[in-house]
Amino acid sequence: MSSYSDTKRYCSNRRGGSYYKRPHSSRSSSSSRFSTHHHKNCKGRHFSKAIVQKLLDTDIKHSREQYFEKLRILKILGEGKFGTCYLVTDEKTLFALKLLKKKKYQKNPNKAKFEEDILKTLRHEAIPRFIRKIDDESLIGFILEYKQGMNLETMIFSQGHVFTRNEIYNIGKQLIDILKYLHGEGVVHRDIRLPNVLFNDNRIYLVDFGLARWIDNKNFKPERDFLCLGNFLLHLYYTSFTDKTKKSRPWYEELKLSSKEFVFLKKLMGNEKRYKNIYEVEMDFEEMFK
Ligand SMILES: Nc1ncnc2c1ncn2[C@@H]1O[C@H](COP(=O)(O)OP(=O)(O)OP(=O)(O)O)[C@@H](O)[C@H]1O
Ligand SMILES: [Mg+2]
């Protein structure tokens, strides 16, 4: 049984060679975020500064019912560097409301545009559908289809879930299928990480298209997703790692991997002999679990 500290040690010591981005969970509290007293939403109605502030700054578990436009806020789904994602309802359907702090985008106001443009074009059951845009003087955001599930970061670090080989196969296979679709549509996700993958009843969902871009094979290549996939799978493998010695060794020495698994992960994350496309990745992945 692995522990949080085992995986944490892996996170801080092994960068898989080239890439590791520690999931962030910090949230800034700000009292001067809004310059005017009232804010006009995209339909022209007004909502008060106090409500917006509460939405972003308070733990809604401890406050009374709150609304954003006509949507009732049920809970916070997650918080990131740029904003907060809420579970909301119009009393018929559940939605995910992703509100981003516009201030964070001042240097590059088009940043959220990619997330919007890309999500609008995608039609896949494992990817939330884009419903509507929010654009206010201080907030920018989206209403998205809600995908029910627990993200893998919570599953591992809060629930202590240990993934079996079968579960790793099931999740990896679905992620590869999603990547076949995305890359086929000319999109590279660029942020496949534990908090951006939801799990429910053996199905996975990929969220957070905040870093997604159109593939141009120059700055934005599909290979970036292979690197992330390798790193992501390593996290799943590490859940069953028990640290008997204090001395840390590289992942390929610590984990009990078959030679096919070793070559596969190295190829995903290494500098030499990289995969050319997702179909090559799929072939080796299937071979590895035969
Ligand atoms: N459509 C959705 N359905 C269900 N849960 C979602 C959905 N979108 C996001 N979440 C949950 O909310 C969390 C935060 O959302 P998201 O990852 O999109 O924001 P973020 O990490 O703050 O974004 P960014 O990296 O662009 O700053 C996710 O980790 C996930 O648990
Ligand atoms: Mg995220």
> Using one digit for the tens of pLDDT, what is the confidence trace for 163-199?
999 999 999 999 999 999 999 999 999 999 999 999 9
Q: What is the DSSP secondary structure assignment for residue 85, as one 8-state letter?
A: E
* pLDDT tens readout for residues 11-37: 333 333 333 232 233 333 222 222 223
Residue 160 has pLDDT above 90, yes or no: yes
- What distances in angstroms separate CA 80 from CA 68, 83, 163, 200, one per listed residue? 19, 5, 26, 22
Handedness of CA 231, 235, 237, 242 (dihedral sign): positive
**Secondary structure, 3-state, 173-233:** HHHHHHHHHHHHCCEECCCCCHHHEEEECCEEEECCCCCCEECCCCCCCCHHHHHHHHHHH
Q: Is residue 276 part of a domain?
A: yes
Query: Are residues 25 and 60 located together in one domain of the fold?
Result: no
Residue 66 shares a structural domain with residue 113: yes
Q: Do residues 172 and 140 both lie within one domain?
A: no
In a domain, 277, yes or no: yes
Residue 81: CB within 6 Å of ligand 1?
Answer: yes
Report whether 119 contacts 112 (CB < 8 A): no
Q: Kind and range of the H or E element at 166?
A: helix 165-184
Residue-range definition of the domain harbouring residue 191: 17-30+149-288
Question: Is the beta carbon of 141 within 6 A of some atom in ligand 1?
Answer: no
Please give the tally of structural domains in the chain. Answer: 2
Q: What pTM did the predictor assign?
A: 0.81
CATH number where 246 lies:
1.10.510.10
* pLDDT for residue 227 is more than 80: yes
Task: Give the model's pLDDT for residue 2.
Answer: 38
Map residue 124 onto helix, strand or coil: coil
Would 111 be classed as within a structural domain? Answer: yes
- In this structure, the answer to whether residues 104 and 196 fall within a common structural domain is no
> Could you tell me if 230 and 212 lie in one domain?
yes
Mean pLDDT is lowest, of 99-103, 115-119, 154-158, for 99-103
Same domain, 164 and 22: yes
Task: Report the CATH number at residue 133.
Answer: 3.30.200.20
DSSP 78: E
Looking at residue 10, what is its pLDDT? 36
* Domain-located, residue 9: no
Nearest residue by C-alpha to atom 25 in ligand 1: 210
Any idea which ligand is nearest the CA of 126? Answer: 1
Examine the fold and report which residue of 101, 116, 145 is the final residue of a domain before the chain moves on: 145
State in Å: Cα 288 to ligand 1 middle: 31
Same domain, 183 and 109: no
Report how far ligand 2's centroid is from the alpha carbon of 80 (Å): 6
pLDDT reading at 60 higher than 90: no
Where is 56: in which H helix or E strand? Answer: helix 49-57
**83 and 100 inside one domain:** yes
At residue 57, the pLDDT reads 54
Give yes or no: residues 191 and 281 share one domain. Answer: yes
On the question of pLDDT at 115 being above 60, the answer is: yes
The rounded distance, in Å, linking the Cα atoms of 45 and 258 is 60
Q: Are 281 and 173 in contact (CB under 8 A)?
A: no
Q: Residue 97 above 50 pLDDT? A: yes
Q: Are 59 and 88 within one domain?
A: yes
Q: Residue for token digits 């690197």? A: 227
Assigned domain for 204 exists: yes
Residues 6+ apart with CB under 8 A from 217: none
Number of C-beta neighbours around residue 90 at 10 A: 12
Residues 278 and 171 grouped into a single domain = yes
Check whether residue 273 and residue 221 sit in a common domain. Answer: yes
Question: Which range (113-127, 134-148, 163-177) has the least confidence?
Answer: 134-148
Strand-pairing partners, residue 177, are none
pLDDT at residue 64, as a whole number: 66
Domain boundary among 145, 177, 212: 145
Distance from residue 194's CA to the centre of ligand 2 (Å): 9
Range picked from 19-28, 36-45, 111-120 for highest mean pLDDT: 111-120
> Which of 43-52, 65-74, 131-140 is predicted least confidently?
43-52
Residue 228 lies in a domain: yes
Look at residue 280 in the predicted model and tell me its pLDDT: 98
